[in-house]
Amino acid sequence: MAYDEYLADRIRRQLKEKRIHFTDMKMMGGLLFKVDNKMFCGIHIDKNYGDSLLMARIGEDAYETVIKNKHCLPMDFTGRPMRGYIFVTPDGFDNEDDLSHYIDLCMAFNPLAKARKPRKKI
């Protein structure tokens, strides 16, 4: 199963409307969006849930409040939750205002996020 192309287009459209310069890249069957060369948000196909989930990098401060939302899940596809990241189920980003809310949370955290150091080529 491939990631939800319609969701990818919705994210791209919102980022362009907000005038956020971004890049995207396919990763492990999903799609990752980067802003300022930092992980921003993405689409993850969850085999247990059976659908594409929105992954959002919102930071640890926002996490404590946002995770209480019934549509938010800890991002734990490795079996260990990643701090400051959430998954949002499709009902949580069904309309454009809801999707915009999560993109705004990602954008608020992005200046504080650290970029991953580039790997040295061998």
What would the mean pLDDT of 8-12 be, rounded to a whole number?
96
Give the residue extent of every domain in the chain.
5-112
- Residue-level pLDDT at 114: 82
Of 28, 35, 12, 27, nearest to 115 (Cα)? 35
User: Does residue 38 sit in helix, strand or coil?
Assistant: strand
- 5-112 fold: Aspartate Aminotransferase, domain 1 (3.90.1150)
Q: How far apart, in whole angstroms, are the C-alpha atoms of residue 44 and residue 64?
A: 21
- pLDDT per position as a tens digit, 36-93: 999 999 998 877 777 889 999 999 999 999 999 999 999 887 778 888 999 999 999 9
Q: Which residue has the higher pLDDT, 63 or 27?
A: 63
121 pLDDT exceeds 70?
no
- pLDDT per position as a tens digit, 84-117: 999 999 999 999 999 999 999 999 999 898 877 6
Residue 4 near residue 54, CB atoms below 8 Å:
no
Of 100, 43, 50, nearest to 75 (Cα)? 43
What whole-number percentage of the chain has pLDDT above 70?
94
Q: pTM score, two decimals?
A: 0.88
Q: Which residues contact 31 (CB under 8 A, 6 or more apart)?
A: 3, 8, 24, 25, 42, 43
